[in-house]
Amino acid sequence: MHTSEKDQNKSAQLYARALELMPGGVNSPVRAFRGVGGTPLFIKSAAGPTITDVDGRTFIDYVGSWGPMILGHADAEIVNALAAIAASGTSFGAPNELEVELAEEIVEAVPSIEMVRMVNSGTEATMSAIRLARGVTGRDKLIKFAGCYHGHADSLLVKAGSGVATLGLPDSPGVPASLAQHTLTVSFNDPNGLEDVFKEHQDIAGVIIEPVVGNMGVVPPNPGFLEFCREVTSRHGALLIFDEVMTGFRLGRGGAQELYGITPDITCLGKVIGGGLPVGAYGGSRELMRNIAPSGPIYQAGTLSGNPLAMTAGLLTLRRLKDKTIYERLERASARLCEGLSAAAATAGVNTVTNRVGSMWTSFFTDQPVTNWTTANQSDRELYGRFFHAMLDQGVYLAPSQFEAAFVSVAHTDQFIDQTIEAARKALAKVS
C-alpha cells in the first residue's frame, strides 16, 4: 500500500479544495500532517480495526478516532441502534430517557461521580469543571501540568501538549494575558514543584491533570505522584480535577481513578462514553454538583447535550464494557503489540522508548525514559515522521504526530497485531 503524493489522487485533490475552505485544510490541527509531513489521507470508511481512504487503501488503524473506538469501528450493534433511534428524532432540546440511563451507567462505574452533567465535547467538560472549581472555592487560579492538553478553552491553552506541541505553539494568540496569568504550570511527575506553587499562591481553585497523560504521548504517573496531588489539594482547600476524557472507560470501567485508587473531586469524561459520537461529561459528589444550574448558581448549558444519538452509542458501549474480559483482552493485545514494536526497534538499531498503560501507548523515538514534557520533547520528530510514512506504506495508520497516544481496540486480534509488528520491522529497517 504505497502512499506517495502522486498516488494520493483523491486525497490530494480533496486537500487542495479543503485548503481554500478551512484553516490548514482541516477541522482539527493534528490532522494536517504538519508533525510528519506530506498530504493527509481523507478517510471514506472504517470497519473493525481498519480504516479505508478515498483512494481505496485500507490500513490497520491505531488512532481510533483519538480514543473512542474501543469496540472497533462501525460496530454492528451500535450502527443498527443509531439507525433506529435516528428515525425517532436526532435531538429534542428536552429531557429523554436515554440520558438518564447513561448517567446511571457512569455513576455506577466511576468511583468519584455521584451526579453527572452531559455536554458535547471534552473541551466543554474541562471548561465547565474549572468554572465549577472556581465557583465553589471563590478562587481564580488553576494549576495544570506542562504538556497536558485539556481542550482549547482559554484558561487551558498554556503550555499544552498534543497538536500544540506538534505545531510548535507553546501558547495561543487570542488568549488574554489577564486570563492566562491565572493558570500556573508545573512539570508532570514533579511533586516538589507542585508543593512550591501552593506555597507561593494562596488563591488556587484547583489542579487539573490527566492521570495518565495522553497528549504529549502516553506518560504514566510515577508511583505516589497522584497520591501527592490528592493530598496537597485537600490540604490547601483546592479541588482535584481528573481529566479522564481519554482514560475514562479506556483503562478500565472505572478509569484511571479506579486503576490507581485515587478519588478526585471532579472527573471529566468524553470519547468512549459517546461510542464514537460527539460527547463529554463532568461529575462529582452530589454536594459539589448541586452548585450547577438549575440546582445552583454556576451556569452551564448546551443545546445538544444529552441528545439521543450520542446517548444511544454511549449506553451500548458502556454496557458492553461491563464484561471484564474485554479489558483483559485489550491488555494482552496491547502488551503483545508494544513488546513486538520494541523488539523490532532493537533489531533495527533504532532507539525507542514505548510507554503503555492498558490499551494506550506511544513509542517515543528517544533513548531516555519519558516522564514529562521535557523528556518527551527530546524525541526525534523527524525520525518519527519517516517511520510514520514507512508504516503507511506497510498498511498501518499511526497518529500523525510523535506526541499522541495510540489505541488498541477489541477488534485488533492477534492477526492484526502480528501484521503490525511485521510492518514495523520492515518500516524500521527502512528508516534506520
What is d(CA 109, CA 256) in angstroms, rounded to the nearest whole number? 12
Q: What b/e readout covers 93-111, taking b as 16+ CB neighbours within 10 angstroms?
A: eeebebbeebbebbeebbe
Q: Tally helices (H) and strands (E) across the chain.
A: 15, 14
What is the residue type of 99? E
Residue with grid cell 480514543, as numbered in its chain: 67
For the purposes of burial, counting CB atoms within 10 Å of the CB of 132, is it exposed (0-12), middle (13-18) or buried (19 or more)? buried
Q: Name the nearest CA neighbour of 329 among 223, 406, 252, 241.
A: 252
Q: Which residues are catalytic?
A: 149, 243, 271
Q: Residues 6 or more apart from 391 whose CB is under 8 A from it?
A: 397, 398, 423, 424, 427
Alpha carbon 238 to chain centroid, angstroms: 25
- Grid cell at residue 143: 494549576
What is d(CA 235, CA 237) in angstroms, rounded to the nearest whole number? 6
- Grid cell at residue 90: 436526532
What is d(CA 167, CA 33) in angstroms, rounded to the nearest whole number? 10
What is d(CA 142, CA 109) in angstroms, rounded to the nearest whole number? 28
Strand pairing of 353-357 and 280-284?
unpaired
